[in-house]
Structures are given as structure tokens and as C-alpha cells.
Amino acid sequence: MIRGFRLDGGRLRPEPDPLAAPDGIVWFDLFAPTEAEEAALEAVIGIDVPTRDEMGEIEDSSRLYTDGGGLYMTATLPAQADTGHPVPVPVTFILIERRLVTVRYDETRAFTSFADRAERLDLGCSDGHSVLIALLDAIVERLADILEAAARDLASLSQEIFRRGGEREDRAQDYRGVLQGVGRQGDIVSHVLASLVTLERLVAYLTAAGEPGKEERIRLKSLSRDTRFLADHASFLAQKVTFLLDATLGMISIQQNAIIKIFSVAAVIFLPPTLVASIYGMNFRIMPELDWAYGYPIALIAMVASAALSYGIFRFRGWL
């Protein structure tokens, strides 16, 4: 699918058939384009649209380069972040003759919200270069929202880990859910951090090679500062994820130790009664106690008393 937008007083207006009248289009948005659509756009603008495999390469020479008078810049953005299971996807931005071409094969919320907002509000768009800066700003805002949601979820998980009551419940099941939540937030934070790193490199390359004007340079500087700040914040959240993961594993270890402690104490308490029962369970011919009239109740009393004595010692020493 190819979407096209033209300028109308600083706002972006969608063009129903952008390839029919390409002269006034400042932004071509290719979403999962077919080979025919790629060929048609290449014929109109004279660019080489990168394939999905080319966009997925991670080296800088394949993500930030100049070809045929156009600037090719690829960043990694998280898709499906609202589902809690984000997927990192590559998005390519191409600047050629002050036009913007975006190539993406997965839906990202930032693109949809930016197109709607740019149609309603004047975002200071005057050409493809300024549209790109405004789009990058919207992407950074979206990443900031994702990080804010992750920070709230991590705070909730932290309270669940460290503010537990004394109620009797299946703690193993609760901690399993906590581990899943911490792992999910760790994935989100790592994907956002990777996106911010690629965006920071993209902004630096655009500033150096895009020949921005004075106002655009100011906006790019602010954008670079925002991405750097968010990257630091994402690194902090990543450290918190690691801490919560270690804390959860530590709580599980404490719980398991408490269970093992109960079994150990029970074994020690029942050891003296077992000793008494073992003595009087031996099959020797000469055992004076066999002729006692009260031998059986005395043996039972001895077993109960030894168990009670062991239990009392454990309670007195604070081991229970």
C-alpha cells in the first residue's frame, strides 16, 4: 500500500492516488509494498526502495548511507507494544529532493497517530525534511509513553514482590506470575532502548548529511537530547528489571528454604520417638520390659514426651 500526503497550510492532506499526481506529494508512505508498487514508485521518484532483508541488516553502512542523491536512514521501532509483546521492526526513511519516503512492513502506532495529528494540526511542516523531523519527534514521544507504562508496571511488580502479607497462599504460583511480568517488561525496555540507540544515530547522521536549516537544526538538537535522555532512562529501567528478577529469585529461594526447614524440624522432632519405638521393636528373647504390665503405655508416653521436648527446644531457640 502506498499513501501520499501533500501540504496544505502547514498541515498534511492525504492524496487518494499519490502516483497519479506525484509533484505535490511531500511524503510517500509505503506499508508492506508489493513488487509492483515498489517499481511504480521507483519509476516516479527515481529511488531504489530497499527490501525487507536489506532493512534488517544491523551494520551502520547498511542503515545510514547516501545513494543517488538520497539519504537512506533505517531505524528499529517496536511494533505491537500495546499487546505487551513488542516486536522490533526496521523502518527506512529516505530523503530525496526535499521529499520523504518511508518504507515499513509492520504497523506501528506512531505512524498512524502522526498522520492523524498532522492532518488536524499545523506541525510546522514545509517539506519532506521538516515532515521527517516531526515524524521522528512523534516516534520519540511514543517511545517515551511506552517507557512510562513500563515504569508503572515495574513499580507495581516491585510492590508485589516486597510488600507481601502473611496470608497462606500458593506463593509459587504468585512468583511465577511475577517472573513472567518482569520478563515481559524486560523485553519492552530492551526493545525501546534498541530503538532509541538507532534513532540517536539516525538523528546524528541527518544533522551531518541532511543540510538542515537553522530552525531544523535546533529541532534536531532537541530531538537528539530527548533520545539521549530516554536512552539513559531506559538503561535505568533495564537495571531495575535485573534487580527485580534477582529479588524474585531470592524470594523464591527463601520460600523453598522455609519449606525445607519445616521438613528438617519435623524430622528432628520425630527422631527421639522413632528411637524409642526402634528399641522396643527389636526381637531379642530377653527384654525385661516385655513383662511389664504398663510397658506399652509407658513407651507411648516416652515417645510423646521426647517429641514434645524437642519441639519445646526448637521454640525456645527461635528456630520455629
pLDDT category at 236 given cuts 50, 70, 90 is very high
* pLDDT top residue among 195 and 255: 195
Number of H helices, E strands in the chain: 9, 7
Helices 171-209, 214-269: crossing angle, 10 deg rounding: 160
C-alpha cell of residue 46: 527515481
Instruction: Identify the pLDDT of residue 60.
Output: 65
pLDDT category at 104 given cuts 50, 70, 90 is confident
Instruction: Identify the pLDDT of residue 2.
Output: 85
**C-alpha torsion sign, points 185, 188, 191, 196:** negative
Q: Tell me the three state secondary structure of residue 214.
A: helix
- Identify any residues that bridge with 79 across adjacent strands, giving them in sequence order: 87
C-alpha cell of residue 200: 540517536
* pLDDT top residue among 210 and 76: 76
Does the pLDDT at position 169 exceed 60? Answer: no
Nearest Cα to 138, choosing from 114, 109, 103? 114
Domains in the chain, ordered, with CATH? 2-257 (3.30.460.20), 270-317 (no CATH)
Q: Tell me the three state secondary structure of residue 74.
A: strand
Q: Which of the given ranges, 46-60, 82-96, 160-174, has the highest pLDDT on average?
A: 82-96
Mean pLDDT computed over every residue of the chain? 82
pLDDT category at 168 given cuts 50, 70, 90 is very low
The DSSP symbol for 80 reads S
pLDDT category at 162 given cuts 50, 70, 90 is confident
Instruction: Identify the pLDDT of residue 39.
Output: 81
70 Cβ contact partners less than 8 Å away, ≥ 6 residues apart: 47, 94, 95, 96
Secondary-structure percent of the chain, ordered helix, strand, coil, rounded to 5: 65, 15, 20
Tell me what the mean pLDDT of segment 189-216 comes to.
Answer: 85
Residue located via cell numbers 507495581: 156
